[in-house]
């Protein structure tokens, strides 16, 4: 009997400490998700601010740190297409339809560097999945407006990348070695302008995932509230209800 009397308070303390730890951990995880959401909102504000700045000179793309410092700034490029190395990135969606993102190296005029240009989206041929769409690529000098962006987004794929014009993903460092061109590997340019060459250029906004962080925040704080409720219920409310019935 004495042993039971000694163990009962200890058990209550263990349960109380476990509940307190659970509440504090889930609260902290919720605050961490809130901080991540605020960081993403600040990044979104920075992107919008950069979008409103004047265009940068194409020569600035090759300087160290340009990929981060100039990301989402507008730029005007002059050069020649390396059409023989055009790549069609598969399984890219536009208005709910599957197709390709067309990426071609552009040899910049007077700079000695090349840039991967995401030229736009084109639908695929559903009768022949290996058929390449017809995309007009001028042979002479071209001038285009675009926006500095990260390398093309990667999609999940099984196994390694298979060389060829149709690919799931594009690694710019490997592509540089493959093409033999002085290609920048830490940035690309998303071409903007009307779809005069048959390519749609309504690029999606960067997916920052702010809503996901708020969702995780709600889950962690709901779990914290549940732990606190269960502790109060089983340690205080339920025993009193049993005593009243006795």
Q: pLDDT at residue 205 above 80?
A: no
Residue 200 forms part of a structural domain: no
pLDDT of residue 6: 53
Verify that 136 and 224 share a domain, yes or no.
Answer: no
Considering the domain architecture, whether residues 174 and 217 belong to the same structural domain is answered as no
Shared domain check, 77 and 22: no
pLDDT, one tens digit per residue, over 133-160 is 888 899 899 999 999 999 998 888 776 6
Classify residue 115 by burial, with Cβ atoms within 10 Å: 0-12, 13-18, 19+: buried
Greater confidence (103 vs 153) lies with: 103
User: With contact defined as beta carbons under 8 Å apart, do 123 and 99 qualify?
Assistant: yes
Region 110-130 average pLDDT: 88
Tell which wins on pLDDT, 5 or 130.
130
Domain membership of residue 100 as a residue range = 73-191
What is the tens place of the pLDDT at every residue in 13-71?
999 999 999 999 999 999 999 999 999 888 888 888 888 889 999 989 988 888 888 99
* Residue 206: pLDDT over 70: yes
Q: Is residue 94 part of a domain?
A: yes
At residue 7, the pLDDT reads 65
214 and 187 assigned to the same domain:
no
Same domain for 165 and 219?
A: no
Whether 198 is covered by a domain: the verdict is no
Tokens of 160: 């390694």
Q: Is there a domain that residue 83 lies in?
A: yes
For residues 148 and 92, state if they share a domain: yes
The verdict on 98 and 133 lying in the same domain is yes
Q: Quick one: 114 and 144 in the same domain?
A: yes
Residue 56 lies in a domain: no
**Band of pLDDT at residue 208, cut at 50, 70 and 90:** confident
CA distances (Å), origin 141, targets 20, 79, 80, 185: 68, 5, 5, 23
pLDDT in tens, 162-182: 778 999 999 999 999 999 999
CA angle 200, 167, 190 (to 5 degrees): 35
Same domain for 84 and 166?
A: yes
Same domain assignment for residues 184 and 78:
yes
């Amino acid at each position: 009997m004495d042993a039971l009397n000694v163990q009962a308070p200890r058990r209550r303390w263990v349960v109380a400490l476990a509940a307190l730890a659970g509440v504090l951990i889930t609260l902290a995880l919720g605050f961490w998700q809130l901080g991540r959401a605020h960081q993403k909102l600040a990044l979104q504000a920075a992107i919008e601010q950069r979008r409103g700045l004047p265009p940068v000179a194409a020569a600035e793309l090759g300087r160290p740190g340009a990929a981060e410092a100039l990301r989402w700034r507008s730029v005007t490029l002059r050069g020649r297409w390396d059409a023989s190395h055009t790549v069609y990135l598969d399984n890219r969606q536009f208005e709910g339809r599957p197709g390709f993102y067309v990426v071609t190296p552009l040899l910049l005029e007077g700079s000695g560097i090349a840039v991967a240009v995401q030229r736009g989206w084109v639908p695929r041929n559903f009768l022949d999945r290996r058929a390449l769409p017809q995309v007009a690529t001028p042979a002479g000098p071209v001038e285009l407006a675009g926006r500095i962006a990260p390398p093309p987004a990667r999609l999940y794929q099984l196994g390694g990348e298979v060389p060829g014009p149709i690919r799931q993903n594009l690694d710019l460092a490997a592509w540089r070695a493959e093409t033999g061109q002085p290609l920048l590997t830490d940035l690309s340019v998303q071409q903007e302008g009307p779809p005069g060459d048959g390519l749609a250029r309504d690029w999606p906004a960067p997916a920052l995932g702010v809503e996901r962080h708020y969702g995780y925040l709600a889950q962690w704080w709901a779990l914290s509230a549940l732990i606190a409720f269960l502790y109060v219920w089983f340690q205080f409310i339920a025993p009193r209800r049993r005593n009243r019935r006795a």
